[in-house]
Amino acid sequence: MLFYLVRHGQTDWNRAGKIQGTTDIPLNETGRQQAEQLATVLKERSGYPAKTRIDAVYASPLARAFQTAEILAKEGKLPLRRLTGLRERDFGCWEGKSWQQVEAEYPDEFHLWREQPMVGIPSGGESRKSCEARSERAIRQILEETAGDAVIVAHGGILVFLMNYLLRFHREPQEIIVANASLSVVSYDRSTGMGKLLALNETGTLEQQPIR
């Protein structure tokens, strides 16, 4: 099966460089335009609705991701499902601040976060271990529920955890940066648990030929 992994479109906090976490910030106008363009990209890649094998669009319940997913689902006339496990990591007291502010106000936490990401936890926030665990539960639920392909609309960190899980037999986990309204594609063999990365961080590349 194919997983189409999508990061939500831009918000005002993205543009301002603020940490969003679980703070529920909606898409701005640029973000909506990005999502509409991405719907065309996804249509080119998957061939939906005429040739689709996509069963559903799964989305984080946070507005910026769910609004992006609504645009994609509407274009492909696909079922849209909220999945709580796909919500962004809770950044606690860091939310609403820039990374520069966090470094100045929480220097010890910030440097531990940068140097030992498996150990560092934002003040009042969620551990990486907890976030990775619920991301894995979410992808397992999607595998149980779907017979065909799936679109997942979530957040930058969550998508990295999902890719690391799907590609776990091919490479060591990596830190990957994915842009707003970007598309990454993973081919996954249910029988072996092996995944293969087919596309990473594509944005508005309408001239490319569909993978399928």
pLDDT tens-digit readout, 98-149:
999 999 999 999 999 999 988 999 999 999 999 999 999 999 999 999 999 9
Token pair for 209: 């030929």
Instruction: State the average pLDDT for the chain.
Output: 90
pLDDT of residue 211: 29
Q: Is the pTM of this model over 0.95?
A: no
pLDDT bracket for residue 212 (50, 70, 90)? very low
Q: Catalytic: 8?
A: yes
Instruction: Indicate whether 16 pLDDT > 80.
Output: yes
Whether 121 contacts 127, CB under 8 Å: yes
Is the pLDDT at 89 greater than 80? The verdict is yes
Range of 44-53, 75-84, 197-206 with top mean pLDDT: 75-84
Please tell me which residue in 88, 95, 109, 126 is annotated as part of the active site: 88
Is 170 known to be catalytic? no
| Catalytic annotation, pick one of 8, 75, 109, 132 | 8
Mean pLDDT of 13-24: 97
Q: What is the mean pLDDT of residues 39-62?
A: 82
**What is the model's pLDDT at position 52?**
59
